[in-house]
Structure 1
Amino acid sequence: MTGRRIVSIVLPHLAMERWQRVMERNGSAPPDEVPLVLAREGHHGPVIHAANRTARLAGIQTGARVVDMRALCPELKVEYADIAGDRHALDRLVLWARRWCPWTVRDGDDGLILDTTGSDHLMGGEAAMLIEMETQLSRLGLSAGLAVAPTWGAAWALARFGPVRSICAADEVSWKLGALPVPALRLDGETVLLLRRLGLKTVGDVIDVPRLSLTRRFVKAPLQANPVLRLDQMLGKTAEPVASVDAKPRIHVQTQLPEPIFDPTAHLPDLCADLCDRLTQTGQGCRSLLLTVYKTDGDVSTVEVATSAPTRDADHLLGLFRDKVERINPGFGFDLITLTAGGVEPLELVQNAFDGNSDEALHLSRLIDRLSARFGPRAVTRPLLRESHVPERAEARGTALTTLERPTVEVRTDRPIRLFDHPEEVRVLYAVPEGPPAQFVWRKQTLRVARYAGPERIAPEWWTDRPGTRLRDYFKVEDQFGRRIWLYREGLHEDGRGGDPRWFVHGCFG
């Protein structure tokens, strides 16, 4: 084997940890003691895609059907996984990992591969390098398993089945990997099951089998079902290069100063204009700007601003730095200023004026950017639509500057724009069978129903609600004062899920 050194990083809980981080930003994360899983569609209904620690301790298994796991843990909370978002996050991590070496690729849906040949000495050796990688990932809220070995296959196996932060030298591959289970060969489930039936339970058992016998049995098998090819990749007999993806070119401008200064304000207009010219030439816009000053004592200070939509308007971006430049600590002065565009994406020029130009002042995103820059990104929020027919679950709140990938959801125009945070229970004086109450008391007022429309029946979501949750019948009613109210009846008479139905006001129209 050559002197190659390959690092494998496995992120076993990426989907759950990313979901929890997003919920924490929105202020809607459930407590840690609640068993929580993320589900995806399977051949026979939703299956478990990821589980938090509480759910795993309760016996919840990845890949099992949600309905089976609910029988094991009735209080299980189920949310749907954002698989496309997880893959996009992993693609960003591929480029983020370039800080350690120039060759990085994604490894499946839960890992990274880094070719660190000749790079470890820059970080004090391989042991220090793995600790640094684990530390930086933990700061992102991600738990990881890491291993370094001479081949991709060996590093992959040790990261998933070996001890914490494994280091394998070139002459240690056979005996260090021999005790690992057969799945360490990166084989599919059917092949693993076949090898186990043949009595081959470890990698060492496969190595001890005569090569001719294995070749005859798996000569026509594809790579993921061929233990001979996988074993050759692990031992370095078959090459498996790291074909690194190209990073997008960074768009930035800088100003080199003849002597140190203490305030970059005078140079910001030219920097913003030059950066936007470069964005225009490439037909792109940016969602954030990072202003960095390099001090004469070797330290740096940064200020970052963000936008709710991609833009390349220099005046607008310059205005976002107002009242923020003073946060820079100049120290003994700085002689280099850089401005870097972040969140770069394609941006087309849209004509919305008769003179052929684009009137950017019409964009609501500009107001959002100015408010967020002045009061903070968490002070300005916007509704986020979700896939749910239960009204209070169909919308959440998120920061206006955050872009979350969510499926396209149809907006219901026949419901109130705003709902009460908590439905308010009303006392029914007289109810029409299978219809709304003729009279009810709400907020100490007796209201009479003049006209109504409905009902709209909403059944419980079995994958989210607890057993015994009652269905709802929603009515749009108008009282004697002309107010239009949206109320619902929870449950039916003799439905076996409680006593008499209860009535609630959930929102108002107009």
Structure 2
Amino acid sequence: MFDGIQRRVASIWLPRLPSDRALRMRPIDGPFVLTVKQKNANRIYCLNAEAERQGLNRGMPYSDARAFCPDLQSRPAEPIGDERFLQVLRRWATRYCPWVGLEGADGLVLDITGAAHLFGGDGMMLSDMRLRLSKAGFSAQIGLADTRGAAWGLAHYGEGLAEPGEALQALGPLPITALRLEEKTVIALQRLGLRTISELEGTSRAPLTRRFGPELMMRLDQAIGRQPEQITPLADPPHYGVRLTLPDPIGLYDDVMAGTSRLLNSLCAKLNAREAGARILRLTLRRVDQEAQIVELRLARPLRDPQRILPLFERGVADVDAGFGIDQMRLEATQVFPLPARQISTVSSSRKDQLEDLISRIGTRIGLENIERVLPADSHIPERSFIATPAVNSEPVGSWRALRPRPLCLFPPEPIAGTEPNPPRQFRWRRMPLSTAQATGPERITPEWWLVNDNWRSGVRDYWRVETQQGRRLWLYYTPQNPGWFVQGEFA
């Protein structure tokens, strides 16, 4: 009872949710199954009603199913997509009541206490649920009773409505599996001759409790209503969006920036309350002619500081065509990441913040994906000793560790005259005559045989650091298997 109102709970079971969802997107006539790979074999994950009439069932090997049903059609299952769609159905079900939770991977549970009269009573509400789900292409079984356990049992084994206070009468003829018991417990009870809930209710409780533990009687009491069972609704994900409706249209740059500042303060307050930071922000400016101007801002790192974010909007807002005026502004964080509070210390991190702000500012002009950072790679081959990655998805490395010095400037090998193993005393490089003053080496580097690299198929290389009398400090290498010299880098 709740404030004198009898509690009522509805359970919606969608026995073929995955296949119904797949057929809703791409309809198919005839038997149809979804398959999933288990233990190196494809098995049936879910199937439609036509496939069930052909004698197929879940968990059946797909090869056996094709033998039974040659015209069977199939697609790979998408369990993650099914989970997301169940969340969509949960939000849809809030049209009937605010308290909606998930019931396993294919069901919903609704606490409709005090809400059924809005739809004309319990029966009319259930009919409306069935009709809407059927029109959407979903087969559903619905049960309604005073308790969550009774509603679940009716949805799975009886599909019906239990009148207030008559949960036991409605559940009595149902099998004991309707009590949400483990399979081994059900088998043991059936061996004792207890097959229905009414037979279980009429048996002495003490011997059953000693043999099966307290869970058996707890499930029975929850279904009948002797023991309460709560329904915990899932909270909607936080929405990071704010809106500002203007009494008079605006069009000046300063006015739009002032409105953006107000929106940023409100949005960052929401982000701060949940210790989150925005990576992508979208500012939508609706004009009086119902057209919208969109300014999207991508940040190098999650932020929630309005003073640091606001200047980054300046370029985008300056390019906005206000037309006859803007009467509504909306700011939304479309990509949000956790941003825990940081401990304040004497060591300042302003230098890192300034670098990330610079990356964000440049990214608004050329795109964040075009700003790259060079990071070391685990390879002794010069061309493979580094990788270029987007700066927004990587962290800088404090120092590069190299066993031997490497040139700051590395370029494709450029041939020079010479065939002797020792560095040439006189050579021309890029039309410049150079003389060797000092040479250090050699450092032999062999190809990585486990990788395909056409430039290294000729064999080993002997690298030398050569200082010229003209001031150039070059990185040369010699190829013993095919005598020749090449310049590949220059030291600072």
With structure 2 as the length reference, what TM-score do the two structures score?
0.54
Rounded Cα–Cα distance in structure 1 between residues aligned with 2:30 and 2:316 = 43
Among candidates 157, 161, 179, match of residue 157 of structure 2: 161
Closer, same or farther in 2 for the Cα pair 1:290/1:107, shift >3 Å? farther
For residues 136-285 of structure 1, the aligned pairs below 5 Å read 136-138=132-134, 140-163=136-159, 166-219=160-213, 223=215, 226=216, 228-255=217-244, 278-279=266-267, 282=271, 283-284=277-278
Cα displacement (A) at 1:285: 6.0
Q: Is the 8 A contact 1:251 1:278 kept in 2?
A: no
Rounded Cα–Cα distance in structure 1 between residues aligned with 2:107 and 2:315 = 39
Q: Are positions 1:20 and 2:23 aligned together? A: yes
Q: Is the 8 A contact 2:241 2:267 kept in 1?
A: no
Q: What is the DSSP-based 3-state SS (H/G/I as helix, E as strand, rest coil) of the residue aligned with 1:359?
A: helix
Closer, same or farther in 2 for the Cα pair 1:351/1:65, shift >3 Å? farther
Q: Is the 8 A contact 1:39 1:81 kept in 2?
A: yes
Closer, same or farther in 2 for the Cα pair 1:134/1:290, shift >3 Å? farther
Among candidates 38, 42, 45, match of residue 46 of structure 1: 42
Deviates more, 1:61-70 or 1:124-133: 124-133
Match of 2:337 in 1: 346
Match of 1:9 in 2: 12
For residues 107-506 of structure 1, the aligned pairs below 5 Å read 107-138=103-134, 140-163=136-159, 166-219=160-213, 223=215, 226=216, 228-255=217-244, 278-279=266-267, 282=271, 283-284=277-278, 345-346=336-337, 354=358, 357=361, 359-360=363-364, 362-363=366-367
- Deviation string, structure 1 residues 171-219 (Cα, Å, up to 9, x no partner): 2211111112222111222222333333322222222222233223212
Match of 2:57 in 1: 61
Residue type of the alignment partner of 2:226? K
Rounded Cα–Cα distance in structure 2 between residues aligned with 1:99 and 1:347 = 31
Length, aligned pairs only: 333
Q: Is the 8 A contact 1:161 1:184 kept in 2?
A: yes
Match of 1:453 in 2: none
Cα displacement (A) at 1:83: 1.4
Among candidates 84, 87, 95, match of residue 88 of structure 1: 84
Q: What is the DSSP-based 3-state SS (H/G/I as helix, E as strand, rest coil) of the residue aligned with 1:117?
A: coil
Rounded Cα–Cα distance in structure 1 between residues aligned with 2:354 and 2:85 = 30
Closer, same or farther in 2 for the Cα pair 1:119/1:219, shift >3 Å? same
Cα displacement (A) at 1:112: 1.1
- Deviation string, structure 1 residues 19-42 (Cα, Å, up to 9, x no partner): 334xx3xxxx3x522432112344
Which segments of 5 or more consecutive residues in structure 2 lack a partner in the other structure?
Answer: 272-276, 303-308, 340-352, 370-492
Q: Is the 8 A contact 2:360 2:368 kept in 1?
A: no
Which segments of 5 or more consecutive residues in structure 1 lack a partner in the other structure?
Answer: 294-300, 326-335, 366-510
Percent of aligned pairs sharing the same letter: 32
Q: Is the 8 A contact 1:292 1:337 kept in 2?
A: yes
Rounded Cα–Cα distance in structure 2 between residues aligned with 1:213 and 1:342 = 59
Cα displacement (A) at 1:18: 2.3
Rounded Cα–Cα distance in structure 2 between residues aligned with 1:168 and 1:304 = 55
Rounded Cα–Cα distance in structure 2 between residues aligned with 1:237 and 1:354 = 65
Cα displacement (A) at 1:159: 1.5
- Deviation string, structure 1 residues 103-149 (Cα, Å, up to 9, x no partner): 22211111111222222233333233333434454565433222221
Q: Is the 8 A contact 1:351 1:357 kept in 2?
A: no
Rounded Cα–Cα distance in structure 2 between residues aligned with 1:155 and 1:317 = 55
Match of 2:376 in 1: none
Residue type of the alignment partner of 1:189? E
Closer, same or farther in 2 for the Cα pair 1:363/1:249, shift >3 Å? same
Match of 1:425 in 2: none
Closer, same or farther in 2 for the Cα pair 1:197/1:347, shift >3 Å? closer
Residue type of the alignment partner of 1:6? V
Superposed CA RMSD in Å reads: 4.8
Closer, same or farther in 2 for the Cα pair 1:264/1:359, shift >3 Å? same
Q: What is the DSSP-based 3-state SS (H/G/I as helix, E as strand, rest coil) of the residue aligned with 1:239?
A: coil
Q: Is the 8 A contact 1:290 1:302 kept in 2?
A: no
- Deviation string, structure 1 residues 215-242 (Cα, Å, up to 9, x no partner): 232126xx4xx3x221111011122111
Closer, same or farther in 2 for the Cα pair 1:214/1:278, shift >3 Å? same
With structure 1 as the length reference, what TM-score do the two structures score?
0.52
Cα displacement (A) at 1:61: 0.6
